[in-house]
């Protein structure tokens, strides 16, 4: 068994690893354009806010 594990992107809203089967969206921060924001299906459905770690931009 390999110790290497697939790096799952962390949802920016809930800080949980996203599952490949989920309908995950990724986009760059609309404010600074430097940070890649990941949002899992659940957070999109619930319109949970996210916060950019670089510029602090918050929004859905």
List of residues contacting Zn ion (CB under 5 A): 11, 13-14, 29, 31-32, 40, 43, 52, 54-55, 57
The DSSP call for residue 41 is H
Question: Could you tell me the smallest distance in angstroms from the CB atom of residue 21 to Zn ion?
Answer: 14
Q: Which two tokens stand for residue 58?
A: 């918050």
Least distance to Zn ion from the beta carbon of 5, Å?
20
Closest of 23, 30, 34 to residue 58, by C-alpha: 30
**Of 6 and 14, which has the nearer Cβ to Zn ion?**
14
Q: How far apart are alpha carbons 59 and 53 in whole angstroms?
A: 12
Q: Choose between 3 and 37: whose C-beta lies nearer to Zn ion.
A: 37
């Amino acid at each position: 068994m390999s110790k290497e594990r697939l790096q799952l992107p962390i949802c920016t809203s809930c800080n949980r690893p996203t599952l490949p089967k989920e309908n995950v969206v990724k986009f760059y921060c609309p404010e600074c354009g430097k940070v890649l924001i990941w949002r899992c299906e659940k957070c999109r459905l619930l319109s949970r806010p996210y916060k950019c770690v670089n510029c602090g931009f918050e929004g859905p």
